[in-house]
Amino acid sequence: MKNLNPSIRHHLLIGFFISVWSFIFAFFIKPFDDGSINFQMWLYISIGFSIIAFLCYGLLAIIQKYTYQKLLKWNISLEIAFLILFFVFFLIGTYSYYKSPLLNGGYDFFKFFQVIILKVALILSPIIVLVRIYSTKLIPLKNDNITIKGENKLDVLKINKLDLVCVSNSQNYVEICYIQNDKLKKKLIRTSLKKIQTNFDFLIQVHRSHLVNPAHFIAWKNQNTISLTQIEIPISKNYKQHILAL
């Protein structure tokens, strides 16, 4: 899956669906019933496991958004890592619940993993994958394209908001630095830095000649320079607090 909607609210809806599906499946199908679990215990198991599934997915939604904002991309490897991490969290959460005084389960960790978690993973993994794929189509990415126009008719650049790295003053022009196909590109447009800042208020000023997209901030190189995606920008003392506030 290459497309991703990083919205936490979007993924909390997915997590809620997964938790409801998990409760229904566990309570009515009883996938690991050995005949010794009574009705009340199955109710506790089903409710507890579904809540833990929701909490694990919610936590992963936060990690996922942070990762996406740093890398500005999503791929199959990250998707697989997300799924594995979900079940690691789910294993830790459910085993702790299973061993709690409420359930007082008798399996040790490895037996619990083999008998319960492996079966849950086999059942739940395809559901999570399908829901994530089709939810992206049903709840598409918000269109964050922006159009930067200059004084000349041909001075037009249309890019995604997340692809814009920085804007620098260049005499009567501004130099737009942006990411295209994982490479840094530059384009000169005849306009002023002040006008760019007015039109695109998500940019922050770090120097009298530079505006940056905070999503591309990586680290401080030294006291007077910051590293952005594939580029370094000088920082003015008067604007240093803008970066420190990130």
Half-sphere exposure of 78 (CA within 13 A, CB side): 19
18-32 pLDDT tens trace: 999 989 888 887 776
- What average pLDDT score do residues 82-93 get? 96
Total-model pTM: 0.63
pLDDT confidence of residue 2: 54
Mean pLDDT over the full length of the chain: 88
pLDDT confidence of residue 144: 77
Contact between residue 18 and residue 121 where contact means Cβ atoms under 8 Å apart: no
- What average pLDDT score do residues 178-206 get? 93
Contact between residue 47 and residue 16 where contact means Cβ atoms under 8 Å apart: no
Structure tokens at 215: 């999503």
Q: Which CATH class is domain 145-244?
A: mainly beta
Q: What are phi and psi of 19, to 5 degrees?
A: -65, -40
Does the pLDDT at position 139 exceed 70? Answer: no
pLDDT confidence of residue 136: 66
Sheet holding 204-207, edge to edge: 183-189, 173-180, 164-170, 210-212, 204-207
Structure tokens at 237: 């003392």
Q: Looking at the chain, which residues constitute the CATH 2.40.50.1020 domain(s)?
A: 145-244
Report how far residue 189's alpha carbon sits from residue 159's, in angstroms, rounded to the nearest whole number.
14
Half-sphere exposure of 85 (CA within 13 A, CB side): 16
pLDDT category of residue 38 using cuts at 50, 70 and 90: confident
- What average pLDDT score do residues 184-191 get? 94
Contact between residue 215 and residue 72 where contact means Cβ atoms under 8 Å apart: yes
Burial class (CB in 10 A: 0-12, 13-18, 19+), 242: middle
Report how far residue 146's alpha carbon sits from residue 112's, in angstroms, rounded to the nearest whole number.
51
pLDDT confidence of residue 142: 58
pLDDT confidence of residue 68: 80
